Amino acid sequence: METQTKQKQTGKTAVRKKTNPNSSKTAVSKKDTVLQILNLDMASVIPDPSQPRKTFDGDSLQLLSQSIKEHGVLQPITVRKSGRDHIIVMGERRYRASKLAGQKTIPAIVREYADNDVLEVQIIENLQRRDVEPTEEAEAIAFLMDKYNPAEIAKRLGRTENFVRQRLKLAGLIEGFKHYVRSGEMTISLGVAVALFEAGEQQMMLESLDGEFHANRLKRIVDNRTFDLANAPFDLTDKKLLPKAGGCTLCPFNAANQGNLFGDGKMVCTRTACFESKKQKTLLNLIKRAKTEQLLLVPKISRYWKDEEHNQLVAAQMEKQGLTVHLTDALEIIEEPIEPTLDTIKEEYRHYDYSDEELQEELDEALEAYMEERERYDTALEHGFVKGILLHTDTYKSKEVFVKVKEKQEDIEDVRSAPLEQRKMSECTPEEQIIKINTREARKKQIENNRQFKEVAEMVRMTDYINIDKPLSVDEMVAFSISLYENNVGYSDQREHFQEFFGDTTNTTREEIVARFRKEFKEETLNRLIRFLLTRQVHFGESNHMNNLTNSSFYTAIQEYHKSNIDTIEAGYAKTRSKREKRLKERVEALQQQDKAMAG
């Protein structure tokens, strides 16, 4: 109940109402210009059952409770009258902590609100906090959309518009996935990606997890249903490709039109059927163009891959339209060469410790090769080539090329003299067929291993691995050492400084090399590699130990080992500098004397 004693005894205080630019205008009482703080009996205060905030962190409540025991409630809660009781509008967390602290009363401001305004005030007050559970935050922002647009909501909450749009999208998650967001198993970014799909498709995704959440598996499912429009084989602005769908740049299923959900300007299509239909129409248009302009359409298919399903689909479409399918093995293809630059050479040889002079030599050689390729491309028509289109059968992206069909080899001996990988099974002896079968199987295993490794690496990246609070294990140090050696130590430095790094690797598999290296591993090996890299990763030119952090830290670190040598070098420079500064001082003094003489 309200305390009935005088203001001094009760702590009743008059306060001027402050204007809150983020609060709803309709939610502010216009009657009073002065608000009063009352000490209310805790028994008369009750939480609002319709309060949008449902979760409260237990640990933070305990900390707040301890603070209230020592200092009291520093900021009054806000309540509204309901019969004899007072319903909390803002401050339920302070109320809960006060109950834990055993408080009998709590300071409060009593205000009048219209029913619709209470919820809005509560939502905005909660959303302005930084510890709101993401799915509750999303649902609350979705409620505000009935009255405000995303830009207005962002302004009221002090957040970016993109943040508001991401939370609006998160509100579209089905309950099964919201559970994983609340438990922390599912990241907000993955939740937003899943929420791009309609509820029925989300439900199918959820059921495919079989009741056990796997972020990496779910990410693969999302990736298989989304398409990076930057790699689309068609013009994203083309409204006529599929008139009913229109252009991709304005499509609501383009994630960039839903608030840059994947980054600034990132265009991702979330409607599989539409994207695939546009791809198919692009292929048909390409076939039509090849027939009209008499271009040789070449699907990028070798004999080895001709039985792959996506290759067969393209070949079937071409044959249906009366085009001959030429495999790339039977063709000479000239693509337009790309002129090399020093930057492209640096990128190509980034794992080699090349000097600027060596990089320039590589560039000169690359430019010579480019000029030869350019001349061959420019004179292709004069040498029996025809205009063609090279088609990538998975993406349907294409480029214009020059093509010439190789002469047929009728003689069986000529056929058998061709490289084994270019011959059909029927053209091979039984022994050669066995070799081809084993080669094909080895290639498939390599592809499987590539996929397996990529899946494992991506899974680890999505976990909290890098934040593990433990010293590096021996296996981690071994992996780090080999990574440093292979990716950062150039060939000449490997031979000069680390000649016995792996020992004799003759007739040894990679697994055996790693196992032996691990068995004989010493931490000194890692230290040696790191110290080698420290000497190589400093910056020269305009950078020195006085204006560059990398150089400064290196300069400090080596003092422990080479202080006397460094002191000698510093002394030499100091001596030279001192002489120079002395000469400059004398010159300045002479000029000052001349100036005085002229003034006198």
Active site residues per annotation: 92
Q: Are strands 331-335 and 77-82 parallel, antiparallel or unpaired?
A: unpaired
Distance CA 188, CA 166 (A): 9
Determine which helix (DSSP H) or strand (DSSP E) holds 461, and give its type and residue range: helix 430-461
Assess contact for 41 and 1: CB atoms under 8 A.
yes
Distance CA 45, CA 475 (A): 59
Q: Which residues pair with 225 in a beta bridge?
A: none
Determine which helix (DSSP H) or strand (DSSP E) holds 331, and give its type and residue range: strand 331-335
The DSSP code sequence of 182-218 is HHTSS-HHHHHHHHTS-HHHHHHHHHHTTTS--HHHH
Assess contact for 311 and 393: CB atoms under 8 A.
yes
Q: Which residues pair with 390 in a beta bridge?
A: 298, 399
| Coil vs helix vs strand at 146 | coil
| Residue whose pair of structure tokens reads 């907000």 in the numeric block | 188
Question: For residue 328, which of 352, 296, 373 has the smallest C-alpha distance?
Answer: 296
Alpha carbon of residue 455 to chain centroid:
16
The DSSP code sequence of 32-50 is -SEEEEEEEEGGGEE--TT
Assess contact for 230 and 268: CB atoms under 8 A.
no
Distance CA 95, CA 80 (A): 14
Assess contact for 267 and 236: CB atoms under 8 A.
yes
Task: Indicate if the alpha-carbon torsion angle 153, 157, 160, 165 is positive or negative.
Answer: negative
Q: What is the DSSP letter of 153?
A: H
Burial bucket for residue 350 (CB in 10 Å: 0-12, 13-18, 19+): exposed
**Strands annotated E in 230-324:** 268-269, 296-299
Q: Are strands 85-90 and 45-46 parallel, antiparallel or unpaired?
A: parallel
Give 53's contacts (C-beta < 8 A, 6+ positions apart). Answer: 92, 122, 126, 132, 136
Q: How far is CA 102 from CA 43, 62, 69, 88, 91, in A?
A: 12, 12, 8, 18, 17
